[in-house]
Structure 1
Amino acid sequence: MAAKPKAQLSADKRTIPAGGRGGVYSCRGGRGDPVYYTEKSQEVRIDTIVPNRAVVTLQPDWTEIYRGERISVSCQIQGGDTEWTYEWETTSSLKPSNQHEYRISSASSSHSGEYRCRGRHRRDPYSSTEWSKGLKVTVSPKPKAQLSADKRTIPAGGRVTLTCSVDPSSGWKYDWYRDNKLSEPLNTHDADFHTPDWTEIYRGERISVSCQIQGGDTEWTYEWETTSSLKPSNQHEYRISSASSSHSGEYRCRGRHRRDPYSSTEWSKGLKVTVSRKSYICYAFIYMRDKRW
Structure 2
Amino acid sequence: MAGSWVPVMYWRFMMAGSWVPVMYWRFMMAGSWIEKLCSLEKKVTLTDSVESNSSPISSSISNYVTVTANATLKLDPTSPYTGETVTLTCSVNSESNWRYNWYKDGTYIPVTQSGRLSITENTLTISSVKVSDKGSYQCHGYQHDRPTSTSTSNQVTITVKALPTATLKLYPTSPYTGEKVTLTCSVNSESNWRYTWNKDGIYIPVTQSGRLSITENTLTISSVKVSDKGSYRCHGNLDDRPTSTSTSNQVTITVKALPTATLKLYPTSPYTGEKVTLTCSVNSESNWRYTWNKDGIYIPVTQSGRLSITENTLTISSVKVSDKGSYRCHGNLDDRPTSTSTSNQVTITVKALPTATLKLYPTSPYTGEKVTLTCSVNSESNWRYTWNKDGIYIPVTQSGRLSITENTLTISSVKVSDKGSYRCHGNLDDRPTSTSTSNQVTITVKGKMPRQGKSTAPTGSDTPVCHTERQRLTTKTHILSQSRGEKPCNLSSLTPAWGGGENAHKTIFMETNDGWIA
TM-score (norm 1): 0.50
> SS at the partner of 1:68?
coil
Partners of 2:222 and 2:35 in 1: CA distance = 75
Partners of 1:19 and 1:135 in 2: CA distance = 34
Aligned to 1:106: 128
Deviations 1:230-260 (A, max 9, x none): xxxxxxxxxxxxxxxxxxxxxxxxxx55x85
Distance 1:47 1:178, change over 3 A: same
Aligned to 2:89: 74
The amino acid across from 1:21 in the alignment is M
Distance 1:43 1:269, change over 3 A: closer
Q: Does the CA-based 8 Å contact 1:115-1:136 persist in structure 2?
A: yes
Partners of 2:196 and 2:150 in 1: CA distance = 45
> SS at the partner of 2:132?
helix
Matched, 1:52 2:63: no
Superposed displacement of residue 132, structure 1: 0.8
Aligned match of 1:133 in 129, 151, 154? 154
Aligned match of 2:23 in 4, 21, 28? 21
Partners of 1:65 and 1:144 in 2: CA distance = 15
Q: Does the CA-based 8 Å contact 2:7-2:25 persist in structure 1?
A: no
> SS at the partner of 1:110?
helix
Q: Does the CA-based 8 Å contact 1:57-1:75 persist in structure 2?
A: yes
Partners of 1:129 and 1:94 in 2: CA distance = 16
Q: Which moved more, 1:43-52 or 1:166-175?
A: 43-52
Q: Does the CA-based 8 Å contact 1:146-1:166 persist in structure 2?
A: yes
Superposed displacement of residue 143, structure 1: 1.7
Matched, 1:116 2:138: yes
Partners of 1:104 and 1:130 in 2: CA distance = 24
Aligned to 2:109: 95
The amino acid across from 1:58 in the alignment is L
Aligned to 2:197: 176
Distance 1:88 1:265, change over 3 A: same
Aligned to 1:85: 99
> SS at the partner of 1:176?
strand
The amino acid across from 2:257 in the alignment is E
Distance 1:267 1:159, change over 3 A: closer
The amino acid across from 1:53 in the alignment is N
Distance 1:135 1:127, change over 3 A: same
Superposed displacement of residue 123, structure 1: 2.6
Compare the two structures and name the one with the higher strand fraction.
Answer: 2
Unaligned 5+ segments in structure 1 are 1-7, 27-40, 192-255, 273-287
Distance 1:56 1:13, change over 3 A: farther
**Larger relative CO (CA 8 A, sep 6+): 1 or 2?**
1
Superposed displacement of residue 182, structure 1: 2.4
Fraction of identical pairs, as percent:
23
Matched, 1:266 2:266: no
Partners of 2:106 and 2:258 in 1: CA distance = 61
Deviations 1:141-184 (A, max 9, x none): 22212223442244554422332222222232222222233224
Q: Does the CA-based 8 Å contact 1:143-1:166 persist in structure 2?
A: yes
Partners of 2:81 and 2:165 in 1: CA distance = 11
Distance 1:182 1:70, change over 3 A: farther
Unaligned 5+ segments in structure 2 are 9-19, 39-66, 112-118, 206-218, 231-252, 264-339, 342-518
Deviations 1:256-292 (A, max 9, x none): 55x85446343432679xxxxxxxxxxxxxxx99xxx
Superposed displacement of residue 122, structure 1: 2.3
Partners of 1:151 and 1:183 in 2: CA distance = 20
Deviations 1:122-144 (A, max 9, x none): 232x2111101211101122221
Aligned match of 1:163 in 184, 187, 191? 184
TM-score (norm 2): 0.30
Give the structure with higher Rg (CA).
Answer: 2
